[in-house]
């Protein structure tokens, strides 16, 4: 039995069916089973990670560790899970490329500490370090549905964006096949695209012209605060951007090596989600 944290999130939504299709038994964790819309083949477990219930590990031999959330102490959440899971066979932790590059922004620092807890816990472990998700471009949804003008911070670097399905398929492989103990896998897409090119590709998928506008960081910051982001989250976001700028364009071969195929492209992502943006 595999316990999947974050089963209703971006990666989790792809990971749960991928594991079930491989014949694995899955216990999918969510705070709210009534709203979770999980694959009916999965066993659904209700839990808030702020108060992890160790009984959720009964009969579990593998754990996929993913946390998320503003306002939560995700490091404490991950440490509590790891502490309770010392008796399982295998831990697979979702981290970030920021750790690979030694970044010290708040998100990378938390992941680095959580990785350490996983390595020291006792069970076999594998760390997955994805780069920036293509799904982050859903932030452009209101602009695309509105005037079609996409405002991007002027410092945005070219990025080897990764499709969450590729991350989930790598995770499913690592959870269900051997040979990954003690390994750390950075995961990116197959090519670095400038933000201007990403906007063009999305426009091509939608069959309409989108306008790319670079905006000063101060304007981007004000806009995010206007959306209701806490100031600390906005600071963390820009600190991460500053530190990751030179690293975003680096491409890793992990998807091809583990899945035996090319990574999914941003054009494929845009095509899949065209109806959502329309
Ligand atoms: N976005 C990127 O570009 C990027 C890049 C590299 C690494 N990452 C890492 O990827 C991870 C996932 O980030 P994401 O933004 O994609 O999040 P996500 O997986 O979409 O986050 C939502 C998930 O977290 C669960 N969750 C949130 N708070 C919870 C709590 N208190 N107790 C139990 N479950 C809780 C939600 O479950 P319910 O709502 O169903 O309870 C949902 O399944 C993060 O560690 C992030 O640092 C992201």
Q: In the prediction, which pLDDT does 108 show?
A: 93
Q: Is residue 195 part of a domain?
A: no
For residue 239, pLDDT over 90 is answered with no
Query: Is pLDDT of 169 > 90?
Result: yes
**How does DSSP assign the chain, residue by residue?**
-EEETTTTSTTHHHHHHHHHHTT--EEEEES-HHHH---TTSEEEE--GGG--GGGGTT--EEEE----TTS-HHHHHHHHHHHTTTSSEEEEE--HHHHTT--SHHHHHHHHHHHHHHHSSSEEEEEEE--BGGGGGGGHHHHHTTSEEEEETTPPPB--B-HHHHHHHHHHHHHSSS-TTEEEEE--SS-B-HHHHHHHHHHHHTS--EEEEE-HHHHHHHHHHTT--HHHHHHHHHHHHHHTTTTT----HHHHHHSSPPPPHHHHHHHTHHHH-
Mean pLDDT of the chain: 95
Q: Is the CB of 258 under 6 A from ligand 1?
A: no
Is 44 among the domain residues? yes
State which ligand 1 atom lies nearest to the alpha carbon of 110. Answer: 47
Task: Examine residue 21 and state whether it is found in any structural domain, yes or no.
Answer: yes
Contact, 210 vs 203, CB < 8 A?
Answer: yes
Ligand 1 pocket test: which of 9, 79, 118 has the largest number of ligand atoms within 8 Å of its C-beta? 9
* Position with higher pLDDT, 71 vs 142: 142
Instruction: Please give the tally of structural domains in the chain.
Output: 1
> pLDDT (tens digit, 9 = 90+) per residue, 205-214?
999 999 999 9
Question: pLDDT value at position 72?
Answer: 79
- The confidence score (pLDDT) of residue 70 equals 67
Q: How confident is the model at residue 106 (pLDDT cuts 50, 70, 90)?
A: confident
Convert the pLDDT of each residue in 143-153 to its tens digit: 999 999 999 98
30 lines ligand 1 (CB under 6 A): yes
Domain assignment of residue 181, yes or no: yes
User: Is residue 35 one of the residues assigned to a domain?
Assistant: yes
18-27, 106-115, 137-146, 224-233: least confidently modelled range: 224-233
Confidence of residue 122 (pLDDT cuts 50, 70, 90): very high
> What's residue 204's pLDDT?
97
Residue 99 lies inside a defined structural domain of this protein:
yes
Q: How far is the CA of 146 from the centre of ligand 1 (A)?
A: 27
Is 11 a pocket residue for ligand 1 (Cβ < 6 Å)? Answer: yes
Residues 214 and 187: beta-carbon distance below 8 Å = no
CATH number of the domain at 48, please.
3.40.50.720
Residue minimizing CA distance to atom 18 of ligand 1: 9
In a mutational test of the pocket of ligand 1, which residue from 33, 68, 112 has the highest number of ligand atoms less than 8 Å from its CB?
Answer: 68
User: Would residue 242 count as lying in a domain?
Assistant: no
- For residue 174, what pLDDT is reported? 98
Q: Establish whether residue 49 lines the binding site of ligand 1, counting it when its CB lies within 6 angstroms of any ligand atom.
A: yes
In a domain, 211, yes or no: no
For the segment 27-83, what is each residue's pLDDT rounded down to a tens digit?
Answer: 999 999 999 999 999 999 999 999 999 999 999 999 999 999 766 799 999 999 999
- pLDDT bucket at 224, cuts 50 / 70 / 90: confident
Query: Which domain range does residue 41 map to?
Result: 2-130+162-188+250-264
Q: What is the pLDDT of residue 207?
A: 95
């Amino acid at each position: 039995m595999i316990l999947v944290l974050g089963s209703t999130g971006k990666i989790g939504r792809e990971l749960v069916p991928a594991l079930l299709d491989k014949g694995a038994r899955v216990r999918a964790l969510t705070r709210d089973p009534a709203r979770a819309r999980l694959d009916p083949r999965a066993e659904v477990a209700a839990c808030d990670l702020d108060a992890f219930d160790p009984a959720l590990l009964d009969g579990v031999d593998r754990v996929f560790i993913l946390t998320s959330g503003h306002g939560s102490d995700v490091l404490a959440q991950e440490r509590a899970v790891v502490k309770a899971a010392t008796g399982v066979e295998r831990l697979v932790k979702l981290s970030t490329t920021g750790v690979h590059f030694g970044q010290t922004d708040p998100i990378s620092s938390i992941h680095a500490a959580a990785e350490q807890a996983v390595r020291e816990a006792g069970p076999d472990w594998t760390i997955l370090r994805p780069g920036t998700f293509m799904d982050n471009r859903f932030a452009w949804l209101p602009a695309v549905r509105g005037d079609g003008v996409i405002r991007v911070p002027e410092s945005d670097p070219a990025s080897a964006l990764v499709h969450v399905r590729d991350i989930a398929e790598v995770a499913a492989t690592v959870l269900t096949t051997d040979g990954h103990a003690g390994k750390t896998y950075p995961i990116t897409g197959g090519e670095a695209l400038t933000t201007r090119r990403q906007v063009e590709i999305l426009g091509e998928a939608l069959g309409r012209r989108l306008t790319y506008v670079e905006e000063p960081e101060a304007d981007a910051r004000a806009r995010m605060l206007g959306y209701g982001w806490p100031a600390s989250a906005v600071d963390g976001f820009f600190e991460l951007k500053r530190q990751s700028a030179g690293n975003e364009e680096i491409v890793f071969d992990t998807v091809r090596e583990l899945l035996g195929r090319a990574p999914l492209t941003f054009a494929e992502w845009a095509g899949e989600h065209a109806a959502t943006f329309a």
